Amino acid sequence: MYLKDIKLTNFRNYEEQVLAFDEGFNFLVGNNAQGKTNLVEAIYMLSAGRSFRTFMDSELVRWGSGTLYIKGTIAADEGEKAIEIAMRGNNKKIKVNGVLLEKRGDLFGKFISVIFSPEELKLVKEGPSYRRKFMDQGITQVKPSYYYLLINYKKVLFQRNSLLREWLSGKADADVLTVWDRQLAGYGARMVYERYRFVRTLSALSKLVHSRITNGEEDLEIKYQSCVDIKEDMDPEEIRQQFVQKLESARARDIKTGVTSFGPHREDLVVLINGTDARKFGSQGQQRTAALSMKLSEIELLKSETGECPVLLLDDVMSELDPSRQQYILGNLTDVQTFITCTHITGIMKKSCPKGKVFHVDSGIITTEEQ
Ligand SMILES: Nc1ncnc2c1ncn2[C@@H]1O[C@H](COP(=O)(O)OP(=O)(O)OP(=O)(O)O)[C@@H](O)[C@H]1O
Ligand SMILES: [Mg+2]
């Protein structure tokens, strides 16, 4: 799929902007603070219904204005679709082909995108929450119902933790804890099942991508560090049973500490380069390249699982990668619509993408030029 055009009204520093995009490479070029990331953010909004930069929707509305509107036309195998996001104050409405969605989650899967920004460059280097978010976002796009699983799991976890904190003051009820445990195991087991399947496919794909990017010098392996002892072809019910047992054996410790010590909220991915933990021992460049391989593999995974090719959003990452990595991106993403922000068009970009479209971003006004 690809984004054909976008219309922005009072979004960030854009007052009124209509743009038609190329099916291949789109370069968003401009100095700092001109609105490049703002445009990427608007595109991302069409796929997630919210920003990747802030949870505060009100920040997205152009200063001095009380309303915001984004409309994008998506071309997909199944035909064209229009996605609209309108905001008045804090009231956000999302429509697909003119039909109002009940919940933001109903938008997932309609316009599939993969974002790669300096945040994602930290995927390998930083703490486990980055890698859990990576799994959860990827799975949600393949299987939108996973989003509700995640929300329910978090709600029950919150309730269970509140109960644990009340325990020491003698107000808590053991039967209630057992009810939360059952619910937590139900949602958690299905999350583990989906994460396991996601990582298994991703690991195989990223091994190939990483080997290509590093000219066969590095072997990349991604291992799912699950909260249960997971085995090939385990079904969700087996995982659930194990989950219940583990919660029971952790109960005394959890009561003492007042937190749930076990579950998908504590899981991680281990990234190995040539058999060594890249988070602990990899160089900055190796960690970034591994993150790049993982994100590029996510595209392949989404493509094979949904039958649609996602759109790639590269914000501020080209300048962070060495010329050979840049060359790889530009040379290998020929069938993926790609948006790239940069301060200037480099020689590599000109050489590798003679057909890309260039957008000059200047204080919230964009002008176009065919490259
Ligand atoms: N709600 C808003 N209303 C009006 N302007 C805004 C709003 N939010 C942000 N801006 C403006 O947008 C600018 C930042 O734009 P953006 O983050 O897209 O820059 P950029 O071109 O990506 O720059 P860089 O190269 O530094 O990443 C800010 O300097 C700010 O002035
Ligand atoms: Mg930016």
Taking only the tens place, the pLDDT of each residue in 289-315 is 999 999 999 999 999 999 999 999 999
What's the whole-number average pLDDT of the chain?
94
Give ranges for CATH 3.40.50.300 in the chain: 1-112+308-371
Q: Please determine, for residue 370, whether its predicted confidence score (pLDDT) is greater than 60.
A: no
- List all residues 6 or more positions away from 311 whose beta carbon is below 8 Å from its beta carbon: 1, 2, 3, 43, 47, 111, 112, 113, 114, 336, 337, 338, 339
Backbone angles phi, psi at 344, to 5 degrees: -155, 155
Give ranges for CATH 1.20.1050.90 in the chain: 120-306
Q: Which ligand 1 atom sits closest to the C-alpha of 65?
A: 3
Closest-approaching ligand to the CA atom of 342: 1
pLDDT in tens, 114-165: 999 998 989 999 999 999 999 999 999 999 999 999 999 999 999 999 999 8
- Ligand 1 mean position, distance from CA 15 (Å): 13
Residues in a beta bridge with 210? none
Q: Is the CB of 57 under 6 A from ligand 1?
A: no
Q: Is the CB of 64 under 6 A from ligand 1?
A: no
CATH dotted code for 1-112+308-371 = 3.40.50.300
> DSSP letters of 146-184?
HHHHHHHHHHHHHHHHHHHHHHTTT---HHHHHHHHHHH
CB 272 within 8 A of CB 221: yes
- What CATH number does domain 120-306 carry, 3.90.1150.10, 3.30.1360.170, 3.40.50.740, 1.20.1050.90? 1.20.1050.90
Q: Which of 9, 13, 320 to mutate to test the pocket of ligand 1 (most atoms within 8 A of CB)?
A: 13
